[in-house]
């Protein structure tokens, strides 16, 4: 692989990592997903090259680590929202209380809808 093509891969990956960071900060996970395959292909191409451009690769490594931290934070946020929605769903469907003996008791509070016909 020529020196020019390695420089091109590094430049492309650098731009892509900036776009990924922008998408992560904006919360645009669809763009992050769309960029993932292209990023993977560029990283694979770079790893197959015999590059002596250590400074360019080091800068990319820093951006990759920065974006990885942002990705982890986004994943943690999504998990937190999922847990909160599950808790809200549980509260809406049942109530947990204690009986006279101090044992936990679950009371279903699902609303029963009925249809009444009038003549």
Q: Mind listing the pLDDT tens digit for each residue in 53-104?
A: 666 788 899 999 999 999 999 999 999 999 999 988 888 888 888 889 999 9
Name the token pair of 85.
Answer: 């929605």
Those residues with Cβ within 8 angstroms of residue 49's Cβ, 6 or more apart along the chain or in another chain: 1, 5, 6, 9
Those residues with Cβ within 8 angstroms of residue 87's Cβ, 6 or more apart along the chain or in another chain: none
pLDDT band with cut points at 50, 70 and 90 for residue 51: low
Tell me the pLDDT of the chain averaged across its residues.
87
Which parts of 58-113 are beta strand (E)? 94-98, 104-108
List the domain boundaries for the chain. Answer: 3-108
pLDDT score, position 112: 59
pLDDT score, position 113: 63
The pTM assigned to this predicted structure is: 0.67
């Amino acid at each position: 692989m020529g020196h020019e093509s390695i420089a091109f891969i590094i430049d492309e990956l650098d731009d892509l990592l900036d776009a990924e960071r922008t998408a992560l900060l904006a919360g645009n996970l669809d763009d992050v997903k769309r960029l993932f395959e292209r990023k993977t292909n560029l990283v694979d191409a770079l790893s197959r090259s015999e590059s002596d451009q250590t400074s360019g690769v080091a800068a990319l490594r820093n951006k990759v680590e920065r974006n990885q931290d942002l990705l982890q934070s986004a994943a943690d946020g999504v998990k937190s929202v999922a847990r909160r929605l599950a808790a809200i769903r549980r509260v809406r469907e049942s109530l947990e209380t204690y009986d006279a003996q101090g044992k936990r008791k679950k009371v279903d509070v699902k609303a029963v809808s009925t249809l009444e016909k009038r003549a």
